[in-house]
Amino acid sequence: MSFRLGLTGSIGMGKTTTAGLFAEAGCAVWDADAAVHRLYAKGGAAVAPIGAAFPDALVEGAISRPALRRIIAADPGALTRIEEIVHPLVRADREAFAEGAEAQIVVFDIPLLFETGGQAEMDATACVYVSHETQRARVLERGTMSEADFEAILAKQMPIQDKLDRADFTIRTQDLETARMDVQDVLTQIEKRL
């Protein structure tokens, strides 16, 4: 039985890079965002049920994220219905990954870990963080969203301090070396438990 570590943080905090550091250290890593992309892709398990509920979301046999954003903007209740379809499919994908993983430590990269109650299925949790200024700069440097988009996403996520307070481990990501050191510390502590 593998040790299950839930990895979370807010947008622009360095979670993807940190997940990569865990993978480099020999952990199996499951990515919630990648799972959603698979579910929305042509032939994905979410295509038929979301397409049935929201026909305008279907584009060339796949679920269009921009179309979903427009649907949610027009109908605030749509998000809840989409989540009711997608969350069980994501959970099934996560469990299938966990069953097939051969690593001693399996890391589950889940942005909304605490928001969805996913921490209950983990042996421990880790939260990545940087200052708000660094977070904002990272997100806006990507050039994929405006300041208003960034603030809207933050408003939907649990405040980072609440995530840090709930996490068993914290990982500082202001630079790669600090993140690598904190990841190694987390792994050392987990190995002691094992």
Instruction: Calculate the alpha carbon distances from 148 to 15, 38, 46, 151, 153 in Å.
Output: 22, 28, 29, 5, 9
- pLDDT attached to residue 73: 86
Residue 36 domain flag = no
Question: For residue 36, what pLDDT band results from cuts at 50, 70 and 90?
Answer: very high
Residues 131, 180 within the same domain: yes
Domain boundary pick from 64, 81, 102: 102
* 38 CB-side CA count, 13 A: 11
Helices and strands counted in the chain (H then E): 9, 7
Q: Cβ atoms within 10 A of the Cβ of 161, count?
A: 10
**Is the pLDDT score of 1 beyond 80?**
no
Residues 141 and 174 in one domain: yes
- Among 85, 102, 119, the domain-final residue is 102
Q: What is the number of domains present in the chain?
A: 2
CA-CA-CA-CA dihedral for 30, 34, 40, 44, to nearest 10:
-50
Give yes or no for residue 127 having a pLDDT over 90.
Answer: yes
Does any domain span residue 69? yes
Query: What CATH number has the domain bearing residue 157?
Result: 3.40.50.300
Pair 11, 84 in one domain:
no
Supply the pLDDT for residue 151. Answer: 86
Has residue 65 got a pLDDT over 80? yes
Boundary (domain end) residue, out of 74, 102, 130: 102
Range of weakest confidence among 30-44, 110-124, 138-152, 171-185? 138-152
In a domain, 32, yes or no: no
Considering the domain architecture, whether residues 78 and 57 belong to the same structural domain is answered as yes
* 33 lies in some domain: no
Q: Residue 98's pLDDT is what?
A: 92
9 assigned to some structural domain: yes
Mean pLDDT of the chain: 93
Q: 182 and 135, same structural domain?
A: yes
Residue 180 structural domain: 1-27+106-188
pLDDT for 144: 82
Q: Are residues 156 and 169 in the same domain?
A: yes
At residue 161, does pLDDT exceed 80?
yes
Q: How confident is the model at residue 38 (pLDDT cuts 50, 70, 90)?
A: very high
Six-digit token string for 86:
């997608």
**Residue 64 located in a structural domain:** yes
pLDDT of residue 154: 84
Instruction: Identify whether residues 117 and 184 lie together within a single domain.
Output: yes
Do 184 and 115 fall within a single domain? yes
pLDDT at residue 28 tops 90: yes
Instruction: Tell me, yes or no, if the pTM score tops 0.75.
Output: yes
End-to-end Cα distance, the chain: 10
What pLDDT was estimated at residue 96?
Answer: 94
Burial of 60 (0-12, 13-18, 19+ CB in 10 A): exposed
- Answer yes or no: do 56 and 15 share one domain: no
Residues 78 and 12 in one domain: no
Q: Is residue 35 part of a domain?
A: no
pLDDT for res 149: 83
Percent pLDDT > 70 in the chain is 100
Whether 159 maps to a domain, the answer reads yes
